[in-house]
Structure 1
Amino acid sequence: MEKTSSPTPGTGSSAYLNALTVEIEKKLQRALASPTQRRNLLQELFADNALEVDDRARGIIFSREEDAISPVEDDADGQLCFFNLLADYYVRVPESGKQILHLILQLWSQSFASHIFFLLFHKWLFEAQLDNTEVLLRFSSALVQGATNVFWIDIQTNTRRFQSLFQYLLDEVALAPMRLNKIPVQAQRELFLLLSRFTLFYNSVDKHESFLKQFPVFLNAFLVGGPADFFVIEVADQLQKLKVEPVLLHYLSHIKVLQGGIIRHFPKSKCLTLN
């Protein structure tokens, strides 16, 4: 995101977030116009939105003016990033994100497009009223793809910068039927498989019982088994892909607790061993 003239303390948080939105639009337009620089520009834009909000920006955004927004809860590492603020802004003021969505759609197949969509619109998707089933499925699939890519960045760096995003998808979507049912069943299945792969990494084992009870029905369940079986298959597959030793050890340290819970609550599960 290019540096902009930050509004003076009298202009309010909405003006500040709108200025950031304008800069995002400009960078997306530059990416559209410059095929050779497209990947770099989108990667930069993703990195910009993942930055932690500095003290100066906090002072403007959380001022005591009438239009100042309420402070967003920091994630587990005490970080408040620009995507946290912008995601809430696009829910509160949906019109402000329309041009960004339009530009992202034109860059849909490009690297980092799904990353950016996920960061900025992971809340909007579950609050907006989208009647077009095809568009809704497209956005839902992009959300899962973007989430997968973003969470793997945390895996590869053994950090949890994006933990607040995982917690939103788990607590506010997967465990909240009213939001979950806003996306097609196919997307619900993809979302639950995604969350299964990262539950151990983001230290959410204590919620696995509630999570498994909300699992959508899979068409091949008669061959594979129940929710616990799908969960175990995804975790086992994830273990085979892990290359960062501390992350692998983190997964393994949670598995015994996880197995005990699955066996106790889902005794008829077909595949209960994580090899």
Structure 2
Amino acid sequence: MSTFTLGQDTFRIYKINSKKHESVSYKRRDYFKISLLTAGTGMMYFSGTPVWVEKATLTFFNPLLAYSWEPTSKTHSGYTVLFTADFLPGPLRRPPLFSPDLIPVYTLDKAAVKDLVFIFEKMIAIDESDYAQKNELLAHYIQLIVHEGLRLQKVPKPMLQNNAAERITRQFFDLLWKQFPVRSPEEVIQLKNPSHYADALNVHINHLNQSIHTISGKNTTWHIQQKLTGEAKMLLMQTDWPVADIAYSLGFEYPSYFNRFFKKQTGLTPLSFRK
């Protein structure tokens, strides 16, 4: 689920074998994307709706669907293919598979993972070849994956209808994600706990907590802690900032508070995790 781009191409395929904690920012893209996650865990957000991923999954993304990815494991592996609309016949780009009103995340059994890994590996080999008609062949394999998604279509979870709880939840996630990533030790996040978010949204904290739990199944504190933990992991692995600076930028008054928080969330101290 690392950050990939299509550039001027109409097709790109990547094999994921990452030992980095790489978040994917919350926004729409101008291409279609299919991801096969074979190992790793994380949290996806589709138009503000969180989806916890802890097993092998096949996920379909389209240009109308805003999404982000926050890994919660230190490593993850799989495949990602990006392509433009021209690669697929019209009927396969229509709802429900690429509908912006669904969360198209499919949990896979071992047999399905094996079949899909074979298809993705074939696409990598074809893409690296000098076969003159490889684009047509690649489009054929994409259609095979799309049909596999259509076969599993009973799995996706429809997005909830617009209501007050969903509206507040989306506003909460918008505020949460706008604070990240932290780009320098001088930046300090301003919204640190559920009360801060309730004040920013002008709602009672109990109403905020109830709305978040109704939509996501998790409480407000859990989501804040998950995001703080993810950002802390990224800063520890990808910067040389002192732990005290990381603690300060993430809103902890004292490094000792951050150390206790991080160890409770991960089982490791920040310095042990960085090693």
In terms of fraction of residues, the more helix-rich structure is 1
Decide: shared fold, TM above 0.5: no
TM-score by length of 1: 0.26
Greater RCO, 1 or 2 (C-alpha within 8 Å, sep 6+): 2
